[in-house]
Amino acid sequence: AGASTPHLKIGAGGVAHLCRDLGLDPVDIRVLLLAWLCRAREMCAFTEAELRRGCAALRQAEAPTADGLRAALDARLDAMTVDVAFKDLYRWAFDFGLESGQRTLQLPMATDLWALVFEARPSGVPPLLGAWLTWLQSGASGVKGVSRDTWNMFLTFIDTCGSDLSAYDHNEAWPSLIDDFVEAETDRANQNLLNC
Supply the CATH number for residue 171's domain: 1.10.238.200
Give the relative orientation of helices 12-22 and 66-78 as an angle to the nearest 10 degrees: 80
| Structural domains counted in the chain | 2
- Single residue among 31, 47, 79 that ends a domain in this structure: 79
Where residue 66 falls (left for φ over 0; alpha for ψ -120 to 50; beta otherwise) is alpha
* SS3 label, residue 87: helix
- Single residue among 56, 79, 102 that ends a domain in this structure: 79
pLDDT given for residue 193 in this prediction: 61
Residue 114 lies in a domain: yes
112 and 159 share one domain: yes
Please report, for the domain that includes residue 74, its CATH number: 1.10.238.10
- Single residue among 54, 79, 104 that ends a domain in this structure: 79
Residue 2 lies in a domain: no
88 and 64 share one domain: no
The pTM assigned to this predicted structure is 0.81
Give the residue from 83, 165, 90, 113 showing the smallest Cα distance to 174: 165
| CA neighbours closer than 13 Å in the CB half-sphere of residue 122 | 13
146 and 176 share one domain: yes
153 and 113 share one domain: yes
Residue 103 amino acid letter: R
Cβ count near 3 (within 10 Å): 4
pLDDT given for residue 1 in this prediction: 45
Q: What is the mean pLDDT of each run of 10 residues along the chain (196 residues)?
A: 65 95 95 95 93 88 81 88 84 95 96 96 92 95 95 94 88 94 90 64
Residue 4 lies in a domain: no
27 and 72 share one domain: yes
Where in the sequence is the domain holding 100, given as residue range(s)?
Answer: 83-195
134 and 160 share one domain: yes
Q: What DSSP letter does each residue of 159-184 carry, written as one string?
A: HHH-TTSTT--TTS---HHHHHHHHH
16 and 58 share one domain: yes
113 and 174 share one domain: yes
